[in-house]
Structure 1
Amino acid sequence: MTESTRITTPFTAESTAAEVVDGIDLTGRRAVVTGGASGIGIETARALAGAGAEVTLAVRDLGAGERTANDIVATTGNKQVLVAPLDLADQASVAAFTAAWDGPLHLLVNNAGVMASPETRTPEGWELQFATNHLGHFALATGLHRALAAAGGARVVSVSSSAHLRSPIVFEDIHFRERVYEPWSAYGQSKTANVLFGVEATRRWESDGITVNALMPGGIRTNLQRHVSQEDLDRAVAAAGGSGITWKTPEQGAATSVLVATSPLLEGVGGRYFEDCDEAGPNQPGTRKGVAAYALDPEAAARLWQVSAETLAR
């Protein structure tokens, strides 16, 4: 990527999801938003529904999903807001969701996630953050590949984080079986995986008309930080080279997700990383901005895909 090929838009860190999608007609398009009943997932789903899309909220808490769906219907007037159960840490739940999906899928927003949780393992022994943030979404997207290909020009949105700057994929010990568990390193590794997924998925699926991009939504105070105290958050920001976070509203936090999902400027564009409604440049040491070279490395992306597929096949 050179500066001349880097995608920039008229929008900024202050732009909202509604502003980004204004004037875009998604009538007839079908979207899935994971984690669509909390945080920026709500505002992502609201913006897509407001533009006319049929939106399925894929959520663990069906009660929260129904309340959110009712709220979105009331605020947008779009009655095509659906709710379906999905627990990304449970492979049977992911398989049930993909098996139940019928027809084309135009937009898949992989938004759900867990941040800096205490050491927890799935029944398979996988580290929870990697299992949820990456493996669950990997299984979901690959399971929905046929539906995405049937849509023609489908887009997958991979919600990453500037925390990817904290860790590449440690292929020798992804699940912290040998090294000491550190919540932020585990989170960072899973967010790097979100970016690498976009690189390899675009390479594999571009011929099907499917593109995948990753993004950093910005700092938004949501339930995602339920495991993190303010002191821990400040310490983590300082350790990553930052001097503090400028907090966004959920409406602003959803803007880059919605831009990646809908902007005509991204037609046919995949395997890239966006922040504050623009494609990010390379990370500069000592900052929390930009993308790490290891997160866009095609060899690491191909290796991660292979490892992920093998892990899920066991």
Structure 2
Amino acid sequence: MSRITTPFHAGSTADEVAAGHDLAGRRAIVTGGASGIGLETVRTLARAGADVTVAVRDVDAARDALAGVRAGIARLDLADLASVRAFTAAWDGPLHLLINNAGVMAVPDLRRTAGGLEWQFAVNHVGHFTLTGGLHGALAAAHGARVVALASAGHHVAPVDFDDVNFAHRPYDPWVAYGQAKTATVLFAVEASRRWAADGIYVNAVSPGGIMTNLQRYIPAETRAQWATAPILKTPQQGAATTMVAALAPEFDRIGGRYLEDCAEAEVIDDDAEAGLADPGVRRWALDPAAARRLWDVSTAFAARAA
């Protein structure tokens, strides 16, 4: 399986990737689309003519952020699976693009949802898992839908610990929790594509790169200040470019189960390689088909338990 590249690169913007694409008649959902790279994703899709629905927890704040942008707004709380199911039940008609963009990072203290799930795993993975599954019929009706799952180089920190996903027995570490949640995001793309390609649904995971947004709100101010001067930092428009590649680029037409960074498929690196939050590549543990199948079963059970 050869690595897929595109004419775009780390410095490309979402608007550059979308240039020449006429999305009139195409329907899209962007979770967390009222700030950061999600907002830039919405703006780019809307400028290209797509009918965009922004799914957010705070509808009033989204109205302010999206003033002047041609997009609808709907409430969605990924930590509350009743909210997720209400959103999917209300959706009518085909869905061409689903951008699972919302997320939380490095929540400092162990938090659990009402359903008992560790917060980062719940929001970053289980909520989106349930959302995408609930929209399966709408995606299938589009006959070639693309789902983009926002992952991160943070997946380098940890694989999914299937023996203790919810930190019931091991000490809670905010970065380990974030890492396993983002590994789960990639594994979801692998298994969803295996299961759903025959239905015309293709799921890829993307790492947007380093961008300073509200995602870092739990990071100490001193650390954020250091990160803000990093030479590899991207603008939100540049961060949204890889999302647009997965959503629109012809190179990824009817392709799923891949992990993209800097507008191309990433190189696979060994699980024992030295790599951290700023390093490229995708761990083998995030692409392991056996782990992806196991995660699907675990996630299904978690979602049912939290119903």
TM-score range, shorter chain: over 0.9
Residue 234 of structure 1: how far off its partner (Å) = 9.1
Residue matched to 2:254: 268
The separation in 2 between residues aligned to 1:104 and 1:49, in whole angstroms, is 17
* Counterpart position of 1:42: 39
1:88 deviates by 0.2
Correspondence for 1:181: 172
3-state SS in 2 of match to 1:172: coil
Equivalent position SS for 2:21: coil
The one-letter amino acid of 1:100's match is A
> Distance between the aligned counterparts of 2:234 and 2:144, measured in 1?
30
- The answer to whether residue 201 in structure 2 is matched with residue 215 in structure 1 is no
Superposition TM-score, scaled by structure 2 size? 0.94
In the alignment, which of 101, 109, 121 is matched to residue 91 of structure 2? 101
Partner of 2:61: 64
Query: What letter corresponds to residue 113 of structure 1 in structure 2?
Result: G
1:70, distance to aligned residue in structure 2 (A): 2.4
- Aligned equivalents of 1:271 and 1:95: distance in 2? 25
1:38 and 1:189 mapped to 2: Cα distance?
24
Q: CA deviation at 1:230?
A: 4.8
Structure 2 alignment gaps of length 5 or more: none
The Cα shift of 1:139 comes to 0.3
- How many angstroms does 1:59 deviate by? 0.4
* Counterpart contact for 1:17–1:258, Cα < 8 Å: yes
Q: How does 1:294-313 map to 2 (within 5 A)?
A: 294-313=285-304
Runs ≥4 residues deviating over 6 A: none
Contact 1:89 1:136 in 2 (8 A): yes
Q: Report the residue type matching 1:37 in the other structure.
A: A
Shift of 1:66: 1.4
Secondary structure of 2:67 counterpart:
helix
Name the aligned partner's letter for residue 150 of structure 2: V
Return closer, same or farther for 1:258/1:182 CA change in 2, 3 Å cut-off.
Answer: same
Work out the percentage of aligned pairs sharing the same amino acid: 59
SS at match of 2:30: strand
Supply the distance in 2 between the matched residues of 1:246 and 1:87 (Cα, whole angstroms): 32
For the residues of structure 2 that align with 1:200 and 1:234, how far apart are their CA atoms? 38
Aligned-residue CA RMSD (Å): 1.6
Q: How many residues align?
A: 298
Measured after TM superposition, the shift of residue 231 of structure 1 is 4.5
Q: Which moved more, 1:277-286 or 1:140-149?
A: 277-286
**Structure 1 residue 203: Cα displacement:** 0.4
1:21 CA drift (Å): 0.5
For 1:233 and 1:248, how far apart are their aligned partners in 2?
Answer: 14
Unaligned 5+ residue runs, structure 1? Answer: 74-80, 238-243
The 2-side partners of 1:230 and 1:273 are apart by: 30
Give me the whole-angstrom Cα distance separating, in 1, the residues matched to 2:13 and 2:121: 29
Q: Which of 98, 104, 108 matches 1:114?
A: 104
Q: CA deviation at 1:68?
A: 3.1
SS of match in other structure, 2:29: strand
Q: Cα distance, 1:135 vs. partner?
A: 0.3
